């Protein structure tokens, strides 16, 4: 059993969870993820590791309450236990001295991008970060980024902070920056990853995305996380989750992510959470 050290809502519908998992905390690297179960009979869900404390043996993840398992997880209080935490899984982010890197994070990606920003900085890169949300009240960890990176920029759908719009405005940000950017890395929902990759394709800037297909075992056994990248089949859990955003078959990924939508909405309907069920259908 794994003890929950801290659990709270950080901004509406987004939760921060710190779990005692010393073995994972000792080994985890930026860009890796865990798979956990919120209860004994529950499904396994992948979550990125957004921070860790090797000395205390804890890992922290930021998750969006989007469906049945994340809803259950959000109800667990500090001091309670969950039955399964497996990891660290997936490959670590490719961290080198690239020069200037632009890191873009939307929704939970604002959290999972943080260790990547830290590692990029430690390698001597100039690190520019763009965080994206529907509105300014949905931003978190801005204080952490401000002291870590060279520049922090915002995009909001409603224009309440930074540029108004969505990640499709990245070319304007790059023009305004007026400095060469050698690599872009995007972390967040599939919409964000695709729109960001579309936006940088014509600019010819290498763009890496953190893919989040449906996963089951996370160790290359089941094939559920299959994606097509550059015309080749890849298993995101063991060959990713980072891939070249300009080579991902986004239409196929979107289609595969909808495979269990009808089943995913059932627990929400049966728990009489109709409004949440509608929201989930819209997200997908
Ligand atoms: C490698 C990896 C890392 C991830 N890291 C994080 C993280 O750090 N924080 C976080 O909040 N989520 C993360 N996710 C996504 C997370 O695993 C899903 O949101 C979660 O499985 C949903 O479980 P659920 O039972 O609550 O919702 P479900 O009942 O499974 O789904 C509810 C609704 O959400 C949609 N949905 C399912 N999966 C996703 C997804 N990947 N992205 C967007 N919508 C989805 C479904 O289509 C459905 O409509 C990651 C996924 C992967 C593959
Ligand atoms: S999740 Fe099963 S092969 Fe990747």
Count the domains in the chain: 2
**Same domain membership, residue 170 and residue 31:** no
Q: Which residues contact 152 (CB under 8 A, 6 or more apart)?
A: 129, 131, 142, 145, 146
Is ligand 2 within 6 A of the CB of residue 230? no
The pLDDT of 167-196, averaged and rounded, is 92
Q: Tell me, what's the pLDDT at 197?
A: 95
Q: In the chain, helix, strand, coil percent, each to 5?
A: 30, 30, 35
Residue 276 has pLDDT above 70, yes or no: no
Of the listed ranges 64-78, 201-215, 250-264, the one predicted with least confidence = 250-264
Q: Which residues pair with 3 in a beta bridge?
A: 81
Domain carrying residue 226: 100-257
- Whether the predicted pLDDT of 188 surpasses 60: yes
**Of 46, 61, 89, which closes a domain?**
89
Task: Give yes or no: residues 77 and 125 share one domain.
Answer: no
Instruction: Examine residue 267 and state whether it is found in any structural domain, yes or no.
Output: no
CA of 62 to the centre of ligand 2 (A): 22
CA 142 / ligand 2 centre spacing (Å): 33
36 plus 79 within the same structural domain: yes
Same domain, 182 and 104: yes
Residue 178 shares a structural domain with residue 85: no
CA 214-144-112 angle, to 5 degrees, is 10
Per-residue burial over 196-209, b if 16 or more Cβ lie within 10 Å, else e, is bbbbbeeeebebbb
Taking the centre of ligand 2 as the mean of its atom positions, its distance from the CA of residue 79, in whole angstroms, is 31
Angle at 19 between CA 224 and CA 269, to 5 degrees: 55
273 in ligand 2 pocket by Cβ < 6 Å?
Answer: no
Q: Could you give the CA distance from residue 19 to residue 263 in angstroms, rounded to a whole number? A: 29
Atom 45 of ligand 1: nearest residue by CA position: 284
Last residue of a domain, one of 89, 112, 146: 89
Under the phi-then-psi rule, with left for phi > 0, alpha for psi from -120 to 50, and beta for the rest, what region is 186? beta
Centre of ligand 2 from the C-alpha of residue 49, in Å = 18
Query: Which whole number is the average pLDDT over 41-66?
Result: 96
Residue 237 Cα: closest atom of ligand 2 = 4
Residue 242, classed as helix, strand or coil, is strand
Residue 167 shares a structural domain with residue 224: yes
pLDDT at 247: 97
Within a domain: residue 201? yes
Smallest-distance ligand from the CA of 235: 2
Output the pTM of the full model: 0.91
Tens of pLDDT, residues 120-144: 999 999 999 999 999 999 999 999 9
What does the pLDDT look like over 93-124, one tens digit per residue?
Answer: 999 999 999 999 999 999 999 999 999 999 99
> Are 186 and 230 within one domain?
yes
Nearest Cα neighbor of 40 from 2, 77, 7, 93 is 2
With beta carbons less than 8 A apart as the criterion, state whether 226 and 214 touch. no
Residue 273 domain flag: no
When the pLDDT of each residue in the chain is averaged and rounded to a whole number, the result is: 91
Ligand 1 center–CA 267 separation, angstroms: 15
Kindly report, residue by residue over 216-248, the tens digit of the pLDDT: 999 999 999 999 999 999 999 999 999 999 999
pLDDT tier, 78 (very low <50, low <70, confident <90, very high otherwise): very high
Report if residue 268 sits inside a domain.
no
Q: How far is CA 64 from the centre of its chain?
A: 10
The CB of 216 under 6 Å from ligand 2? The reply is: yes
What's the confidence (pLDDT) of residue 260? 62
Ligand nearest to the CA of 237: 2
Domain with residue 132: its CATH number is 3.40.50.80
DSSP per-residue codes, 22-73: HHHHHH--TT-EEEEESSTTPPEEEEE--EEETTTTEEEEEEE--SHHHHHH
Pocket flag, ligand 2, residue 33 (CB < 6 Å): no
CATH number of the domain that residue 31 is part of: 2.40.30.10
């Amino acid at each position: 059993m794994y003890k929950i050290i801290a659990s709270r809502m950080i901004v509406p519908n987004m939760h921060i969870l710190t779990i005692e998992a010393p073995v994972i905390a000792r080994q985890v690297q930026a860009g890796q993820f865990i798979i956990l179960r919120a209860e004994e009979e529950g499904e396994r869900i992948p979550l990125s590791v957004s921070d860790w404390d090797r000395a205390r043996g804890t890992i922290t993840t930021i998750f969006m309450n989007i469906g049945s398992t994340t809803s259950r997880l959000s109800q667990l209080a500090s001091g309670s236990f969950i039955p399964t935490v497996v990891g660290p899984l997936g490959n670590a982010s490719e961290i080198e001295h690239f020069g200037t890197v632009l890191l873009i994070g939307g929704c939970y990606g604002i959290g999972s991008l943080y260790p990547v920003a830290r590692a990029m900085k430690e390698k001597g890169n100039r690190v520019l970060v763009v965080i994206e949300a529907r509105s300014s009240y949905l931003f978190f960890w801005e204080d952490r980024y401000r002291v870590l990176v060279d520049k922090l920029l915002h995009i909001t759908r409603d224009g309440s902070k930074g540029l108004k719009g969505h990640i499709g405005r990245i070319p304007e940000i790059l023009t305004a920056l007026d400095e060469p950017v050698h690599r872009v890395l995007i972390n967040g929902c599939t919409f964000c990853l695709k729109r960001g990759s579309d936006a940088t394709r014509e600019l010819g800037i290498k763009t890496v995305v953190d893919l989040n297909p449906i996963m089951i075992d996370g160790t290359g056994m089941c094939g559920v996380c299959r994606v097509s990248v550059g015309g080749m089949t890849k298993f995101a859990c063991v060959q990713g989750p980072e891939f070249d955003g300009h080579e991902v078959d986004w239409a196929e990924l979107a289609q595969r992510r909808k495979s269990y939508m009808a089943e995913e909405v059932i627990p929400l309907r049966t728990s009489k959470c109709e409004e949440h069920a509608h929201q989930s259908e819209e997200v997908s």
